[in-house]
Amino acid sequence: MVKLGIIGYGLRIHDVFPDIESAERGYRIAAIADPNLGALREELGERAKQVQFFAEAETMLAHCELDGVVIGTRCNLHTEMALKVLRRDLPLYLEKPVATTYEDLARLRAGYAASRSEVVVSFPLRNTPLVRLAKEIVDSGKIGTVEHVQAVNNVPYGGVYYHSWYRDERITGGLFLQKATHDFDYLNHLLGMRPVAVCAMKSKQVFKGTKPAGLKCADCEENRTCEESALKAKPGPGRGEYCCFAVDTGNEDAGSALLRYESGMHASYSQNFFARRGAARRGARLLGYKGTLEFDWYASELKVHMHHEARVESHAIDASALDGHGGGDGALVDNFLETIRGRERSRTTLDDGLLSALLCLKANESAETSRFCQVAW
């Protein structure tokens, strides 16, 4: 049984590693370092007896014999916690984004170079059946060499980035690092090329206003009529409580980027956080001279349109058989456990995470300076 240590057992890690002990996957959560220990013990109930709890990650790492470590802290702590694990050469599962500043990115890159740790970054999208199928088709040459990409992410649950702690850009680094880091990674994976330059824009047109700072939906006189009221949301962990239209609401609500790749081709990517219901979409079109491949996780389908013959190939994915993130979460966990056992190498390496974070930081820089940015260390 693989013994895991968790640093930051928040909502995301609860979803990915929901069991304190899993006979099916062969792991046991032996230790947890989290500042919210009282609430965690209460939530886990009897299962808490199987776990050692620590207020500090350093103490947990020093006192526990662990086979691997999972980091699920808030985003601005990812680098600092990862460096503690890398110094001990332990297998590491690291949530995205791997860093939120250029300084942390440089520190993490140096720490990784000095470590023997095998690192699995939480990039589930490239592990989904849709992207695995897309990669197989692209690599087969069926649509020709990919010469243009159009990718989109219309987020139907975007309110979370304005109601809760995600609204604080000092923690998140902004929404390119929160969402586009996934999409940039799967695009890099599908294309098999490095991005060399980026130009980006972002705007805040909807989630802004004059409501007082710190206003909670429960205290607002419009909480029964406002479409974004947290009181209308389903109760549960992760639901925020703050007003989306207050003066202290952070984050852009739309962003777009043009990525130039080393072959000279370019990709466009756009993300939006006020689309709702049937307007949800996440996926891409990859265009070659022979054909166009397109897929969408919300529709769970992939199509190939042949350009020079009257033929369209359609592939449907049975979404009911998949776990989180379109089937990518389970694949990540299995890959991490197999790296600990020495049977596999990471399929989403820290090199992938560093490149994606660099691309997001450059997109932010471009949007704030109105200029192209070279994607280079």
Lowest mean pLDDT segment, chosen from 46-55, 85-94, 347-356: 46-55
φ and ψ at 120, to 5 degrees?
A: -110, 115
Which percentage of the chain shows pLDDT scores above 90?
A: 90
Runs of H (alpha helix) within the chain: 11-16, 37-44, 57-63, 78-86, 102-113, 129-140, 160-163, 169-172, 175, 181-191, 324-340, 350-369
Asked whether residue 95 carries a pLDDT value surpassing 80, the answer given is: yes
Residue 162's pLDDT is: 95
Question: Domains plus CATH for the chain?
Answer: 2-123+329-348 (3.40.50.720), 125-206+250-323+356-374 (3.30.360.10), 208-248 (no CATH)
Which tens digits make up the pLDDT trace of 271-324? Answer: 999 999 999 999 999 999 999 999 999 999 999 999 999 999 999 999 887 888
pTM: 0.95
What span, in angstroms and rounded, lies between the C-alpha atoms of 225 and 206? Answer: 17
b/e code 337-354 from CB counts within 10 Å (16+ = b): bbbbeeeeebbbbbebbb
Asked whether residue 85 carries a pLDDT value surpassing 60, the answer given is: yes
Which tens digits make up the pLDDT trace of 47-58? Answer: 999 999 999 999
Which tens digits make up the pLDDT trace of 201-254? Answer: 999 999 999 999 999 999 999 999 999 998 886 655 456 899 999 999 999 999
